[in-house]
Amino acid sequence: MTSSTELLPNYLGGQWHSGTGTGTALLDPVTGAQLVRVDATGLDLAAGFAFAREQGGAALRALTYQQRGALLAAVLKVLQANRDAYYEIATANSGTVKNDSAVDIDGGLFTLGVYAKMGETLGARHFLLDGEPARLGKDPLFQSQHIQSPTRGLALFINAFNFPAWGLWEKAAPALLSGVPVIIKPATATAWLTQRMVKDVVDAGILPAGALSVICGSSAGLLDQLQAFDVLSFTGSAETAAVIRSHPAVTQKSVRVNIEADSLNSALLLPGEAAVSEAFDLLAKEVAREMTVKSGQKCTAIRRVFVPETLYTAAAQAISARLAKTTVGNPRNEAVRMGALVNRTQFDAVCEGLDHLKAQAEVLHDGAHHALVDAPADACCLGPTLLGTCSAAGSDAADRVHDTEVFGPVATLIPYRDLAHALQLVRRGQGSLVCSVYGSDAAALAHAATELADSHGRVHIVSPDVAALHTGHGNVMPQSLHGGPGRAGGGEELGGLRALNFYHRRSALQASAAVLAQLAAPAINTSTSSPAEAARTGTTPVAA
């Protein structure tokens, strides 16, 4: 483990730089011990951004998608070799138990591996065809073909505290595969894991200089460095997102922005189920799991649970019984199943949010009754709390549960009268990342899912036949879209190759059919250099 006095350096402009300030201490949320410090004071941001844009971008674009995919595969091997160290950091800095750390660390590595393999499918090309050629007149000789080319800018990522590993690689993998250099600004509270992963990759010498940079500490001045062809991805609060959208880089230079913000995700049990049905049990199981994984600190966690009014009491009992078995405390203790909130600020925010919701909801399971295991009384640990709105009428009146996201182990059980009422209540979330729907009637499930699709980035449908197969309400798979409309930010990430769209610029090429046919001709890689060597030497594969 790293010394508690160490100041973590930043990597920018192809070099390591320590901040010139005293820095911010990162703490163990259970013991309160100081771990490391981070600081970005004194960095030459303009020079560092220019280096990434000009040096890193040029080197990456010189490679084909196939070669860039091979670089991602090499990065993955380095990260896998250092996996144990990442788990130690996550336990100390994020306060997560091993299974929760895996959601972040192994989830990030899995996503990176998926995009490495996608590079193989894209072959030895430097641009992507977009659709088929279109005739522009009666004579087919002159046509239009859309293509997508990597943007000649950089990608700035401003990330949230809850996924320092996955949040890095789910963005960086498609960006690097696209040929776009990355500057990552992790959330200060958990920046250690992100910085360590970047350091391991840099030390391995896999990527060209300027392809991957990390800045730990304050984000002051970062947006001022953005230019017209750069892109910006932000994960965090809606308030900060609003500030970003109003920045001159966005309003005047048209910097492309992707936002993932607040999300009141839902779980819906369809009408017609009984308290003894398998669908009912699957809902109770998933709600309890989503409330406790990473102490509820997931953008995709279930916040509102909708059940028929006749099943409200049974659902409250079933979910509470599962929550009661959750041991809370020091993640180093093998008996503990749920660790800490990330820091005291987050702990206080969750407690404040709980009090806000309690004004309109009853407490069905009180997390304060969970005794902490192997943790001091002032640890940032809080047991899971289930609230409820009592009746269908109460569900309509309790506006706070539809407007306020408490980012912790908290969910609210909400009864509804009929399906139309349920759909109306779900939509009061004003756009979410994900909604899961539970039932046993395939037609009813399909109908509810399509009704909810317009207000959710993902609809996760769980029926008894996929009980052992479904990937989980809150698990973000790289093959599926991640993002959501409205309150959730209006952004889109992942979704397989769709993730590359954000890092490309679409253009229409109008030309002779013979010229356009050359675009679709098989690309031949005549370079014998490895991807890393090609990036260093400037060797450019030739596309026939």
Residue 525 contacts residue 122 (beta carbons within 8 Å): no
Based on the domain organization, do 501 and 352 belong to the same domain?
A: no
> Please, which pLDDT band fits residue 530 given cuts at 50, 70 and 90?
low
248/287 same-domain check: no
Residue 427, in any domain of the structure = yes
Last-in-domain residue among 451, 477, 503: 477
Question: 286 an active-site residue?
Answer: no
Q: What is the mean pLDDT of the chain?
A: 94
Asked if pLDDT for residue 124 goes beyond 70, the answer is yes
> Is residue 540 pLDDT above 50, yes or no?
no
Let me know if residue 364 belongs to a domain. Answer: yes
Global pTM value? 0.93
435 and 507 in a single domain? The answer is no
Q: Is the pLDDT of residue 541 over 90?
A: no
Q: Of the residues 477, 507, 526, which one is the last residue of a structural domain?
A: 477
Element (H, E) at 57: helix 57-61
pLDDT at 2 over 80: no
**Phi, psi (5° rounding) for residue 42?**
85, 0
Q: For residues 503 and 413, state if they share a domain.
A: no
Structural domain includes residue 62: yes
Indicate if 299 belongs to the active site: yes
Asked if 154 and 172 sit in the same domain, the reply is yes
| Three-state DSSP class for residue 518 | helix
Instruction: Provide mean pLDDT across the span 378-384.
Output: 97
In a domain, 205, yes or no: yes
Rounded CA-CA distance 27/35 in Å is 5
- Looking up residue 253, the CATH number of its domain turns out to be 3.40.605.10
Residue where one domain finishes, among candidates 477, 511, 528: 477
Tokens of 541: 């594969």
The 10s digit of each residue's pLDDT in 55-90 is 999 999 999 999 999 999 999 999 999 999 999 999
Whether 25 is covered by a domain: the verdict is no
For residues 217 and 273, state if they share a domain.
no
- Binned at pLDDT 50, 70 and 90, residue 533 comes out as low
Indicate which residue of 299, 380, 381, 435 is catalytic: 299
pLDDT tops 70 at residue 500: yes
Q: For residue 304, which phi and psi values (nearest 5 degrees)?
A: -130, 135
Quote the pLDDT of residue 521. 79
Out of 170, 260, 286, 309, the active site residue is 260
The CATH number assigned to the domain holding 416 equals: 3.40.309.10
**What is the secondary structure of 268-291 as a DSSP string?**
EEPTT--TTSHHHHHHHHHHHHHH
DSSP calls for 429-495: T-SEEEEEEE-S-HHHHHHHHHHHGGGEEEEEEE-GGGTTT---SS---TTSEEEESGGG-SEEEES
Of 5-9, 35-39, 294-298, least confident by mean pLDDT is 5-9
Indicate the pLDDT class of residue 484, thresholds 50, 70 and 90.
very high
Do 190 and 321 share a domain, yes or no? Answer: no
C-alpha 419/C-alpha 430 separation (Å) is: 18
> Are both 244 and 216 inside the same structural domain?
yes
Say whether pLDDT at 544 is over 50: no
Q: Mark whether 386 and 420 lie in a shared domain.
A: yes
Q: Which domain holds residue 432?
A: 266-477
**In one letter, which amino acid is 44?**
D
Of 460, 526, 514, the closest CA to residue 142 belongs to 514
Secondary structure in 3-state letters for 155-200: EEEECCCCCCCHHHHHHHHHHHHHCCCEEEECCHHHHHHHHHHHHH
242 and 275: one domain? no
29 occurs within a structural domain: no
Q: Examine residue 409 and state whether it is found in any structural domain, yes or no.
A: yes
Distance CA 232, CA 255 (A): 7
Mark whether 327 and 256 lie in a shared domain.
Answer: no
| Judgement on whether residues 178 and 312 belong to the same structural domain of the protein | no
Q: What is the side-by-side strand order in the sheet with 142-150?
A: 128-135, 142-150, 504-512
Residue 39 lies in a domain: no
- Kind plus residue range of the DSSP H or E element containing 434: strand 432-438
* C-alpha angle 298-301-304 in degrees, rounded to nearest 5: 145
Q: How many domains does the chain have?
A: 2
Alpha-carbon span 123 to 120, nearest angstrom: 5
